[in-house]
Structure 1
Amino acid sequence: MIIAGVIAEFNPMHDGHRYLLQTIKEQLHPDVLIVVLSTYFSSRGLPSLENVETKTKLALEAGADLVIALPSVYAMQSADYFARYAIEALSSAQVNILCFGSESANLHTLQQKAKQIQLLNVDPSTSLARNAAKFDLDLQPNDILAIQYIRWCENFNIKPYPILRDQSLKSATQTRADYFSGIEQVEDHLFEPQQNWSSYYPFLRYQLLENDPKVLSQIFLVEEGIEHRLIQCALLHDRWEDFLNAAVTKTYSKARIQRTCFMILLQISKTEVKEHPSFFEMQILGMNTIGRNWIKSLPKETPMASKFNQLPTHLQKWHLKEHRLYSLISPKTKPWKVVVEHE
């Protein structure tokens, strides 16, 4: 059987994502197509422009049979950790082939780049894009993630399958930029327009100015004394864009700052994450008949949850924090429930 997996954020869902899922169906004819999807906040430390229920429905409509969650605490990581946690979740669903978009789609070349990264012994908490540039690895954005997927696929006996990205289709980054600049209103009835960092900044600024630096230093991703820089930037700047630009350093990219700031807002401690360093879980967001039947065929001991009270205690706690924070900006956001898309 071909159990194909895709790692996605859909922030927002666009034609490039639909093209990827359609191409997988056409080229591989998988028995089951499973998407692991980041939920409220993305790997770049951005709020999701579409809520979880909307993203799940769109994934099912685009061809996914089963959609499972990658909670924000696990999703808001550097490329290496993001890839690892997502593949851990897919391995729990018994995925045996991982499909992903790539600017080159040359598996051999990507495998060679992946080996180079391993030989360089790069710190996984540091931006891989910066390390790629430093060591002249000549990697495009999708290929940066691709080589991390390839590295982790080897650990789980999953076959990597790159698919050539259609460069004529707009990226999620460009789609977001166009939406917020008013250039193009794509499916704006599905979007949560207030989900941007400017909406969250007053809450962040309060946290930074009211908490002792020693307290902030215990938060996950707060490293190397960055709390002092963040506090100083919060004192000086009342606009998010100014704060972010001032906080960025050679070590801390915009994405790293954003991820760190969301961990501060969520109050996720280093101890909590250290106690739960893996994510071998299937948190079911949505499915069709094929997905439902696949779930029924899995071994009884497979760690999965289709209801909130079936989640491990730490995932319940993290989910409530993520949902409450997202709901501060989008009050109508519904609590987690399984979305079933009928055939």
Structure 2
Amino acid sequence: MTTVGLIVEYNPFHNGHRYHLQQSRKITGADAVVAVMSGHFLQRGEPAMADKWLRTRMALEGGCDLVIELPVAYATQPAEWFAYGAVKLLKATGVVDAFCFGTESGSLAPLLAAADAAAFEPQAFKDLLKQQLNQGVPYPSAYSSAIASYLNELGLPEAASFPFSQPNHTLGLHYLIALNRLGGGLRPYTIARQGAQYGDTSIDDGPIASATALRKLLSEGGRLEDIKPYVPASTLHILTEARKNGIPPIGWNTFLPQLMHVIATSGAAGLRELRDMTEGLEHRIVKSLAVMQGFDMEHLLNALKTKRYTRTKLQRALLSILLGHAKSDFTREKLEEGVRYIRVLGFSPKGQELLAEMRRSAALPVLLNASRLAETNRYLELDIAATGAYMLGMPGADLPSAMLRDFRDKPVMLAPE
């Protein structure tokens, strides 16, 4: 069985995701699809609009065969570590032959050239990156600029002119860098995104809108029926049933009371020990409480905003506060060690066949719930804690039982047709 891997968030699963999935099958000739999916909290420092089990069902109904969880330790990181954790998991399954990611251009060659050149960060590249950072350039832009300059120095002007700073090109580059660092073993592919691009906030008349635009529409009072043209019927049905059960789409404001409590009781000294607290950001966060113009996340972000910090940087810092992510758990050495388990969130009938094969071939333990290894693996402990934090913010959740769903819930199973 030929299998293609996808790295996803599905927040929510929409028509663009379905196109990517279908095209990934087509260009790789795959019989099955394995998705590595972020859990309750996402790469840009945001809570998912629906919990990981609901989004797993969206993925399976949308055409995935096996869904495994990207641990929160990687899912909430900048591109380098997000990519590293996801590619590490795909390789570790032992059943994935290729992986396919979306990019703005659909061009793989420049990304391969850049990944080959910079995967192990030669000193010349490090010097170029340091120059950019010393000029006050935010890290993502500094990295893209350093890549381009380094490729020029290597005599690769065509690759150097590639727009590495575009969000999906940045992620794609880091997927390929991670693949190099992990010794290869998967065939990479890319396809051009269709319709709305990553992060677009507007919706036009086409069938594809970005997940950002769909979430914005719902957060501003839109009805679930309003997103019908842009999502598969299965996604709309899952979200509609969730709302009937008292579970509306979740946003940052849901977690603001918990976040404010931690900020108020920790103070700058306590916040300093958390991940993403750099350049005195902890002091700015504490002081921001006095100048907020209203009790919601946008007002908090506006109070924090400066030219030095991107919105994503600030959201990740606030998320580290909410989840209690200490710097000591996120050293380069610990992250390089990589994920030490494969957490299965759901499978189709074909995925069940893959799961049986994966149990024989995987390089890591395969978990169907969190009970095994829960007390001996720090990153699994962080996943369990992330579920607890997420459920505390979910209206109508059956607490404290819902906080322990990682121990209780079995993988989502798609019934045979």
TM-score, with structure 1 as normaliser: 0.90
TM-fit CA distance, 1:137:
5.6
1:241 aligns with 2:298: yes
1:70 aligns with 2:84: no
1:28 aligns with 2:67: no
Give the 3 Å change call, closer, same or farther, for CA 133–177 of structure 1 in structure 2.
farther
Q: Give yes or no for contact 1:5–1:36 (8 Å, CA) kept in 2.
A: yes
Q: Which deviates more, 329-338 or 41-50?
A: 329-338
The Cα offsets for residues 220-264 of structure 1, whole Å up to 9 and x where unpaired, read as: 222222100111112321432122022133332111111111111
| Alignment partners' CA distance in 1, 2:362 and 2:74 | 25
| Alignment partners' CA distance in 1, 2:189 and 2:254 | 38
What is aligned with 1:340? 413
TM-fit CA distance, 1:272:
2.5
| Alignment partners' CA distance in 2, 1:182 and 1:113 | 43
| Alignment partners' CA distance in 2, 1:177 and 1:58 | 19
SS of match in other structure, 1:323: helix
1:279 aligns with 2:339: yes
Q: Give yes or no for contact 1:218–1:269 (8 Å, CA) kept in 2.
A: yes
Alignment of 1:16-95 (within 5 A): 16-94=16-94, 95=96
Q: Give yes or no for contact 1:47–1:197 (8 Å, CA) kept in 2.
A: yes
Q: Give yes or no for contact 2:275–2:327 (8 Å, CA) kept in 1.
A: yes
TM-fit CA distance, 1:302:
3.1
Count of aligned pairs between the two proteins: 342
TM-fit CA distance, 1:292:
2.1
1:159 aligns with 2:187: yes
Q: Give yes or no for contact 1:244–1:254 (8 Å, CA) kept in 2.
A: yes
Give the 3 Å change call, closer, same or farther, for CA 236–44 of structure 1 in structure 2.
same
Give the 3 Å change call, closer, same or farther, for CA 147–57 of structure 1 in structure 2.
same
Q: Give yes or no for contact 2:115–2:180 (8 Å, CA) kept in 1.
A: no
What is aligned with 2:4? 4
Q: Give yes or no for contact 2:34–2:64 (8 Å, CA) kept in 1.
A: yes
1:268 aligns with 2:325: yes
What is aligned with 1:128? 140
TM-fit CA distance, 1:46:
0.9
Q: Give yes or no for contact 1:37–1:67 (8 Å, CA) kept in 2.
A: yes
1:326 aligns with 2:390: yes
Alignment of 1:167-316 (within 5 A): 167=195, 168=206, 169-183=208-222, 185=224, 186=227, 187=236, 188-189=239-240, 190=242, 192-193=247-248, 195-237=250-292, 238-239=294-295, 240-274=297-331, 276-277=334-335, 278-297=338-357, 298-299=360-361, 302-313=364-375, 314-316=378-380
SS of match in other structure, 2:289: helix
TM-fit CA distance, 1:217:
1.0
Q: Give yes or no for contact 2:342–2:366 (8 Å, CA) kept in 1.
A: yes
Give the 3 Å change call, closer, same or farther, for CA 300–151 of structure 1 in structure 2.
closer
| Alignment partners' CA distance in 2, 1:215 and 1:41 | 22
TM-fit CA distance, 1:133:
6.7
State the identity as a percent. Answer: 27
Q: Which deviates more, 304-313 or 66-75?
A: 304-313
Q: Which deviates more, 229-238 or 314-323?
A: 314-323
AA paired with 1:8? V
Q: Give yes or no for contact 1:309–1:316 (8 Å, CA) kept in 2.
A: no
| Alignment partners' CA distance in 2, 1:22 and 1:301 | 28
| Alignment partners' CA distance in 2, 1:159 and 1:180 | 39
SS of match in other structure, 1:201: helix
TM-score, with structure 2 as normaliser: 0.75
| Alignment partners' CA distance in 2, 1:243 and 1:129 | 25
AA paired with 1:142? N
Structure 1 unmatched ranges of 5 or more: none
| Alignment partners' CA distance in 1, 2:305 and 2:365 | 39
Alignment of 1:110-129 (within 5 A): 110-114=111-115, 120-121=125-126, 122=129, 127-129=139-141
Q: Which deviates more, 290-299 or 211-220?
A: 290-299
Q: Which deviates more, 166-175 or 225-234?
A: 166-175
SS of match in other structure, 1:11: coil
SS of match in other structure, 1:163: strand
Structure 2 unmatched ranges of 5 or more: 149-160, 196-205, 228-235
